[in-house]
Structure 1
């Protein structure tokens, strides 16, 4: 051959069977699939009981799904010799454990390909099963079992965790059964600037007891190493953390604090609308027309929005909305301050102002003030702990929403938890360290 970079074609090497201890001896390629005849390289002819040499008795064929070549399902037909011991009469067959686990219908290469397709390429399990040429249940059982082995059952994923986030989301939209799961996120890498957030665990239900039980299941040394917990306004998470990890600082996430202020603004706008017109807002009503402008940060308002709000606040009947809007804007200003010390000062002043008491006619601001004063320590803790927030937690929840879309929903919670841990539990780092 003229070009020294080329060598004689080797189907065994091309299909990656060297690492599986197999050798290709034949092929049958069809438009819809490929079948490779293989044999085990190792002889394995010595008796495992007495050590005597075995004599070939007969052979059997085992079929294994292999990683697809060009998206064509590829099947390995492995012929295994069976030996009979010349000493004790024991019968055994050649060992295939290098290629596949016992009773598994997928080779180790196929499992690795399927896991990477599931986690990195975001393929659906149906697409993976199609590519491997096996039933959906076969692919799902094998892939999830491998995922549990290499990631989920590995307790080392809990090591080095010092900052966590806790939140909940709806995993299915049905009338029957518990729809909520609690997610625990490792935020240590975000806090230290050494990596991204990852899903640490997911548990059924949403309550104080659920989170407290999970914390109690961790060993004492792990609990003592937790420095901070980012959470939303749900008091159940707060009290569970206080009882199980009292040394950890609870940090209320900025997103949820701003959301509380935004809810107060919406409630005030709707109440004012009903007081003036006796009905809900309609397209031509000033309050309804300005609903989006009211939620925009003051520094991001365009000229049209500024004019709309100026006209809205010129009406004395909208005074309560204007005051609530100013509280909402001050909340945003505190979190957007370039200096955390200045932001903390702004937030402290706001909590003291509306928490001490507000004039009559502002029930939404009064209720917001009571909430902020009750959780003041948790809210202000954010400014002292950069990188500790539930922002990454919400991002992972978004990724899990995408996962449910790919799978067209889940009916089995066990499968959903396993798939979620593979999707957002740092498995990509395991594949590509």
Structure 2
């Protein structure tokens, strides 16, 4: 076996914070969760209005649910610096869009983790929400938005699809019944042994008619290119 190569331990890399533009400055490990205090790496001192350099005016804390480490909910306390322009008086904060979408409560890595957990690992939204220590609606909205942006609205997601698989997934359990979606998966990479399956679409309902309606809505070229379904 080749000799493994090690690097210096780095909490920023281990927690995937460097790709979010954040740096860890402290930690607090509790029994129920881990809290990582962070700061934004890049300064943002230039006025959005006149371009003059602003003056620091304290910090505010933005709390973001991060992907769980060891199945312990992890929360990022991001200290965001505030600036005030001496010329025009405008006040602004450091840009944190690399770490999370505006007004989002989940980091970008947490959103992707939640989406993969639902689609690939077949976890329920309730289980994902518990792992992230967030509300059901917060996680559900984030997963739906991410699935729509990354999967549903991808114009090339049907390219090269030859074999599809169909399954059902319980999206939500309620006292008035369970809500299901039909999951359509591209099995072409699995059949050709070049990669894992990938999600094509999720449609409300779980009957044969739901899948037939979805298939009829696709292009004729797509339907003719399908070798089989399961």
TM-score, reference length from structure 2:
0.74
Structure 2 unmatched ranges of 5 or more:
none
Are the counterparts in 1 of residues 158 and 222 from structure 2 also a CA contact under 8 Å?
no
- Residue in structure 1 matched with residue 224 of structure 2 by the alignment: 227
- Aligned equivalent of 1:12: 12
**Residue 62 to residue 194, structure 1, CA distance change in 2 (3 Å):** same
d(CA) in 2 for partners of 1:28 and 1:19?
Answer: 22
Output aligned runs, 1:133-172, within 5 Å.
133-161=133-161
Distance 1:67-1:25 versus aligned 2 partners, 3 A rule? same
Q: Which residue is 1:315 aligned to? A: none
Q: Partner of 2:34 in structure 1?
A: 34
Instruction: Output the TM-score relative to the length of structure 1.
Output: 0.42
Is the 8 Å Cα contact of residues 66 and 110 (structure 1) preserved in structure 2?
yes
Task: Look up the match of 1:94.
Answer: 94
Q: Aligned equivalents of 1:55 and 1:108: distance in 2?
A: 29
Q: How many residues align?
A: 213
CA distance in 1, matches of 2:221, 2:15: 50
Residue 119 (structure 1) shift: 2.8
Q: Secondary structure at the match of 1:141?
A: helix
Match of 2:73 in 1: 73
Shift of 1:16: 1.8
Moved over 6 A (4+): 162-165, 179-187, 195-199, 203-207
Match of 1:194 in 2: 192
Unaligned runs of 5+ in 1: 230-387, 394-433
Deviation at 1:214, TM superposition (A): 6.7
5 Å matches for 1:256-267?
Answer: none
Q: Quote how far apart the aligned CAs of 1:118 are.
A: 2.4
Retained in 2: the 8 A contact 1:163–1:226? no
Q: Which residue of 1 aligns with 2:60?
A: 60
Instruction: Quote the residue 2:43 is aligned against.
Output: 43
Q: 1:10-409 counterparts in 2 under 5 A?
A: 10-161=10-161, 189=188, 194=192, 200-201=200-201, 202=203, 211=213, 215=216, 218=218, 222-224=219-221, 226-227=223-224, 388-389=227-228, 392-393=229-230
**Displacement, 1:13?**
2.7
Q: Deviations over 1:267-316 (max 9, x none)?
A: xxxxxxxxxxxxxxxxxxxxxxxxxxxxxxxxxxxxxxxxxxxxxxxxxx
**Deviations 1:327-372, CA, capped at 9 Å, x for gaps:** xxxxxxxxxxxxxxxxxxxxxxxxxxxxxxxxxxxxxxxxxxxxxx
CA contact (8 A) 1:168 1:180 kept: no
**CA deviation digits over 1:367-410, x for unaligned, max 9?**
xxxxxxxxxxxxxxxxxxxxx44xx32xxxxxxxxxxxxxxxxx
Give the Cα–Cα distance (whole angstroms) in 1 for the partners of residues 123 and 167 of structure 2: 25
C-alpha separation between the residues in 1 aligned to 2:33 and 2:181? 41
Q: Deviations over 1:219-266 (max 9, x none)?
A: xxx42564377xxxxxxxxxxxxxxxxxxxxxxxxxxxxxxxxxxxxx
Q: Sort the Cα spacing of 1:15 and 1:152 in 2 relative to 1 into closer, same or farther, 3 A.
A: same
More helix by share: 1
The Cα RMSD (Å) is 3.8
**Residue 66 of structure 1: how far off its partner (Å):** 0.9
What SS does the aligned partner of 1:158 have? coil
Q: Does the C-alpha gap of structure 1 residues 168 and 136 become closer, same or farther in structure 2, counting only changes over 3 Å?
A: closer
* Secondary structure class of the residue paired with 2:89: coil
Q: CA offset at residue 23 of structure 1?
A: 1.0
Shift of 1:50: 1.4
Distance in 1 of aligned mates of 2:85 and 2:77? 26
